[in-house]
Amino acid sequence: MMRMLALVGSLRKESYNLRLVLTMQERYRDRFSLEVADLASLPLYNQDAEDNPPEPVRRLKQKVAEADGVIIATPEYNWSIPGVLKNALDWLSRGERVLVQKPVLTVGVTPFMLGTIRAQLHLREILAAPGISARVLPPAGNEILITFAKDKFEEPNGRLVHAPTLELLDTVVDKFLDLVRSAGTTGR
């Protein structure tokens, strides 16, 4: 079975972005496993430590290297991605560049009306940087920009239940799995 790793840009317990990832973990459990990476234990990036990275960074790099694909769930903080996520991506971009050519799907949730579009556009630019160069599912038809989260998730602290959004998610996940298969990293 395919193995996916989720990078979630929010550390809050009731994060909608985490709840989206947990929804995907349960909904697609017959098709792939989805582990949520621990980003909270990563220290702030420091280039002095790059050649001998701290243990949490090593562990994350290994998990990314072993994953068939990576799902990045980003909140939008001040029109961009949260520092938590940028910090993780900076670590992953140096030394052993484990995201190069890695299939990546980006998703995002906000309680407001623009669905993390500004954050995800920034995220796509970052993922194209030389040290990252991920194989990101192209945006046309594939943007998971979830608005007005309070109306679409079961409260308190439940899963995504909004049927049209789940339908879109299904079609986008199908296309992401095609991308992962074409990247030829499965079969371990």
Measured CA distances, 114 to 57, 111, 144 (Å): 32, 9, 11
Sequence-distant (6+) residues with CB within 8 A of 16 are 10, 75, 109, 110, 111, 146, 149, 153
Q: Which among 115, 129, 120, 96 has a CA at the least distance from the CA of 9? A: 120
How deeply is 160 buried, as exposed, middle or buried, from its count of CB atoms within 10 A (0-12, 13-18, 19+)? buried
* φ, ψ for residue 117, nearest 5 deg: -60, -40
Q: Which region among 99-107, 111-119, 122-130, 158-166 touches ligand FMN (by CB under 6 A)?
A: 111-119
Segment contacting ligand FMN by CB under 6 A, of 58-66, 99-107, 109-117, 158-166 = 109-117
Residue with smaller CB distance to ligand FMN, 1 or 11: 11
User: Alpha helices of 51-162 — where are they, by DSSP H?
Assistant: 55-66, 83-92, 117-127
Which tokens belong to 36? Answer: 């949520």
Least distance to ligand FMN, CB of residue 160, Å = 12
Please tell me whether residue 142 binds ligand FMN under the rule CB under 6 A. no
Indicate whether 37 belongs to the interface with ligand FMN (CB under 6 A): no
Task: Give the residue, chosen from 71, 75, 99, 142, that forms a contact with ligand FMN under the rule CB under 6 A.
Answer: 75
Tell me: does residue 90 bind ligand FMN (CB under 6 A): no
CB 68 within 8 A of CB 185: yes
Q: By CB under 6 A, is residue 185 in contact with ligand FMN?
A: no
Q: Rounded to the nearest whole angstrom, what is the least distance from the CB of residue 8 to ligand FMN in the complex?
A: 7
Interface stretch with ligand FMN, choices 91-99, 108-116, 121-129, 165-173 (CB under 6 A): 108-116
List the x/- string, 12-31, binding to ligand FMN by CB under 6 A. x--xxx--------------
Indicate the residue among 2 and 37 with the shorter CB distance to ligand FMN. 37
Contacts to ligand FMN by CB under 6 A: 10, 12, 15-17, 75-79, 109-112, 114
